[in-house]
C-alpha cells in the first residue's frame, strides 16, 4: 500500500477504535474517528453539530450527507492529505461507502483498504458481557450484535461482491482478519500491511514463520524490535533501506518482540533493537542498539560473499 488509507471495521467488543488509534500511532498518520468528529462538532457547537446532536443523543445514525460533509472537511486537511489516515466508525451504510469512494476518486486518491476484524458472535457476547454497562442485559447485548450484523453485511458485500474473491483483476479492497486474537497480535498484523507492497522490510508474524524462513533462506536478516523502544524507531528505517538495497539477494525482515518474547532467550539477545544475521539457518552475528547504516550493510555484504 503506497498511500496509507485504511478503514477499520468490526463488531462491538473487538476494539476497533483502540486498534485504529494504535495503527495510526505506529504508522504516524492521523487517526480519524467518526464518533469523535461528531462529538467535537456538537461540543463547538457548529451547524453540523446542531443538526447531528439529536441523532447522536438517541444513538441513531446521523444522516449520510451530514457525516460525509464532516468527514470530507477532516480528510481535506493537509496532515491527512499528505500522510494518509486510519478511519473508524465510518462507513456505517453503503451510501457512506459509496460517497467516500466517489470523493477519493474525485480528488485523485486511490481507494482505501478496508479491514474487517471478524470474531464469532459467541466469543463477542462473552467479551461484551464483561465490559458492559451495569444496566445492560444479555438480550440487549444480543440486539447490539444483531444490529451490527445487519449493518455490516451490506458493507462487506459492497467491498467484496460475491465471486470477486477468485477474480485476480477484481478489487482487493477488503481484507478480513481474525479478530479473536490478542490486541498485540492484531495490532502487529495490521501494522505489517503497510510494508507489504513497498521494498520495505516485512514483519515476520510468529516463531513458526521465523523457523520456516530459517530453513528456507540462505541469508536472512531479522530486526527484532518493539513498539515502546525509541532506538528501534531509529533503526527501522535503516532496515527498510537495507531491504530496498539488498532485497533481491537476501531476505530482510522485522519481528515484533512483544508478541515473540521467547526469541530473546533463544538467540541470546542483549537489548533492543537486535539485528540478527543468519546464514543457512545459523546465527552468525547480532548487532545490538543503533548503528550507522554502513555497519548493517557491511555485515550483510560480508555474509553475501
Residues near ligand AMP, by CB under 6 A: 34-35, 38, 55-56, 59-62, 67, 89-90, 92, 96
Sheet strand arrangement including 219-225:
202-204, 251-256, 219-225, 274-279, 282-288
Q: Are strands 85-88 and 174-178 parallel, antiparallel or unpaired?
A: unpaired
Least spacing, CB of residue 280 vs ligand AMP, in Å: 51
- Return the number of the residue (179 or 273) whose C-beta is nearest ligand AMP: 179
3-state DSSP assignment of residue 20: helix
Bridge partner residues of 276 (DSSP): 222, 286
**CA of 19: how far to CAs of 115, 159, 186, in Å?**
11, 20, 8
Instruction: Report residue 277: phi and psi, to 5°.
Output: -115, 120
- Return the number of the residue (38 or 187) whose C-beta is nearest ligand AMP: 38
- Return the number of the residue (56 or 287) whose C-beta is nearest ligand AMP: 56
- Return the number of the residue (56 or 290) whose C-beta is nearest ligand AMP: 56
Least spacing, CB of residue 72 vs ligand AMP, in Å: 13
Least spacing, CB of residue 181 vs ligand AMP, in Å: 23
Least spacing, CB of residue 163 vs ligand AMP, in Å: 28
Q: Please count the other Cβ atoms lying within 10 Å of the Cβ belonging to residue 164.
A: 15
- Return the number of the residue (9 or 174) whose C-beta is nearest ligand AMP: 9
- Cell 495490521 found at: 190
Least spacing, CB of residue 124 vs ligand AMP, in Å: 16
Give the start-end residues of each E strand in the chain: 5-9, 31-33, 85-88, 113-118, 174-178, 202-204, 219-225, 251-256, 274-279, 282-288
Amino acid at each position: 500500500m503506497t498511500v496509507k488509507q485504511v478503514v477499520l471495521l468490526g463488531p462491538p467488543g473487538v476494539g476497533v477504535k483502540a486498534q485504529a488509534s494504535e495503527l495510526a500511532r505506529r504508522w504516524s498518520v492521523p487517526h480519524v474517528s467518526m464518533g469523535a468528529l461528531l462529538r467535537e462538532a456538537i461540543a463547538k457547537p457548529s451547524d453540523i453539530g446542531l443538526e447531528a446532536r439529536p441523532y447522536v443523543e438517541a444513538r441513531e445514525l446521523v444522516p449520510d450527507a451530514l457525516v460525509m460533509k464532516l468527514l470530507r472537511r477532516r480528510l481535506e486537511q493537509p496532515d491527512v492529505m499528505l500522510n494518509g489516515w486510519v478511519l473508524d466508525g465510518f462507513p456505517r451504510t453503503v451510501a457512506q461507502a459509496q460517497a467516500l469512494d466517489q470523493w477519493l476518486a474525485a480528488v485523485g486518491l486511490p481507494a482505501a483498504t478496508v479491514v474487517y476484524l471478524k470474531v464469532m458472535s459467541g466469543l463477542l457476547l462473552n467479551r461484551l458481557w464483561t465490559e458492559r454497562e451495569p444496566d445492560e442485559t444479555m438480550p440487549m447485548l444480543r440486539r447490539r450484535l444483531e444490529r451490527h450484523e445487519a449493518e455490516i453485511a451490506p458493507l462487506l458485500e459492497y467491498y467484496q461482491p460475491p465471486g470477486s474473491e477468485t477474480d485476480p483483476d477484481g478489487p482487493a479492497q477488503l481484507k478480513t482478519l481474525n479478530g479473536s486474537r490478542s490486541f498485540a497480535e492484531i495490532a502487529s498484523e495490521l501494522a505489517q500491511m503497510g510494508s507489504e507492497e513497498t521494498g520495505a522490510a516485512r514483519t515476520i508474524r510468529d516463531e513458526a514463520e521465523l523457523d520456516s524462513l530459517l530453513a528456507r533462506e540462505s541469508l536472512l536478516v531479522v530486526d527484532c524490535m518493539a513498539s515502546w523502544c525509541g532506538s528501534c524507531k531509529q533503526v527501522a528505517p535503516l532496515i527498510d533501506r537495507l531491504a530496498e538495497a539488498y532485497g533481491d539477494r537476501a531476505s530482510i525482515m522485522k519481528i515484533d518482540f512483544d508478541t515473540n518474547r521467547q526469541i530473546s532467550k533463544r538467540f541470546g539477545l542483549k537489548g533492543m533493537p537486535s539485528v540478527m544475521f543468519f546464514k543457512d539457518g545459523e546465527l552468525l552475528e547480532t548487532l545490538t542498539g543503533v548503528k550507522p547504516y554502513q555497519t548493517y550493510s557491511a555485515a550483510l555484504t560480508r555474509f553475501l560473499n
